[in-house]
Amino acid sequence: MAVNTILLDFSVDPSLTKTDGSFTVLSTNIENVLRDFLTGLKTISSFELEGSLIKIFTANRGTVVNLRIYSNGLVTLNIDYYKGEKQEPLLTLELSKIFEQKLAIALDSFRSKMFPPIKRGIPLDVYLSSSDERILEYDIDNLVFEEVTPYQKVQIVHSKTLGNMLVLDDLQNIAESDLIYTETLMQRGKENYKDKEIVILGGGDGALLYELLKEKPKEVIMLEIDDVVMKACAKYMRSICGDVLDNYSGANYKIIVGDCMKSLEQYIKEGRKFDYIFGDLTDVPISEDHSEQLWAFINKILQMSCKVLKPTGKFMTHLTGTSCPEAVEQYSQYLQKLQPSVKYTMDRAFVPSFLEEWVFCQYRLAVRSSVWSSPALRGCCEGLLIDACREEYLSSRHWTSAATNLSVKRHYIFCESV
């Protein structure tokens, strides 16, 4: 049961919409076609508004039709009607095409468009938005879980093609079809996580934790603020998180429920360092003006993460859709301003549940010659960095022993010559 809204628009020669007489001719032609398709059509109102003609009609089945003819040659037609669960649509797909064609002929239009019906007021919300705020319609057929927490609205819905999907505050986060999201975020096949110390900021769906543990890290700490998300995913999205959310600690991982900022502050005070930090938090806003507060949060996360990275460590995160280049550029500008300075790379992948290509970012601390100009700093840091280089290469799965020795030697030369 829903209100269906059918949207049509046509473009005609602007010379046909310049006078009251031409407005009348066009509206009469449209009305004649409407009567052939909508029984009981009645004109309710007609008036002019800022150089356009507006006419409102009603028809059987409680149908309301809004017609607007603009002086620039644009004609829009909106048809609203209520469709019961077992009722046939007012216009079938085949009939809709004929309807559009007849209207286009009656208007002598050179362009026409009829949109699929927008379903409003339905029990299951099937509409979400893309990163650049376009409407996306999903084949959602069941609301699996819903709860409003102190932090957000948490939903798990079922899609016929995507499986169960986590939706937070009406934003799609991850679905059972989205392994590519997790693998691109962690740069699987490009990074070696064996025996590494890792922090995940967010990640309440458990997917990243689950996949990282397959790589045999030394320890993974996940910092998630919303316990409801984890419990819901543990029950309804086990295909992406396995059993890692059943217990909040294991042989080489632990989950801390709380504000990740507080944990980062504690690690900074302790002087603790990590090999990898993952930012699996909120999307990047589409522009700096769009959410100044959110950009401030993102910037603070970046600055704090720099302070808990090992010299060879990396920060890895997701950004937004490729359709938002301004947001990606803004994020890049934040990275370029970080102190200590960083070097970053970008990657992208099409994520099924997002219905769009997504951007991912990785950065590491940049080794600058100015740091090594001081003998005191060089003495403190050189051994640590070279040892880290040795560990990184010797633990790599991708090198033979001979190649490893050569790589380490070359890396020593690089470290000593910076």
Catalytic positions? 280
The string of DSSP letters for 292-328 reads HHHHHHHHHHHHHHHHTEEEEEEEEEEEEETT-HHHH
Q: Which is it for strands 342-351 and 127-129: parallel, antiparallel or unpaired? A: unpaired
CA angle (142 as vertex; 138, 143 as ends), nearest 5: 100
Contact 404, 393 (CB under 8 A): yes
DSSP state of 353: G
CA-based nearest residue to 199, from 335, 319, 365, 316: 316
Report how far Cα 296 is from the mean position of its chain's Cα atoms.
19
Contact 312, 385 (CB under 8 A): yes
CA-based nearest residue to 42, from 24, 26, 55, 25: 55
User: How many Å apart are CA 155 and CA 158, to the nearest integer?
Assistant: 10
Contact 327, 319 (CB under 8 A): yes
User: How many Å apart are CA 362 and CA 344, to the nearest integer?
Assistant: 5
Question: Element (H or E) spanning 100, and its range?
Answer: helix 93-107
Residues 6+ apart with CB under 8 A from 342: 306, 315, 335, 363, 364, 365, 366
Burial class of 382 by CB neighbour count within 10 A (0 to 12, 13 to 18, 19+): middle
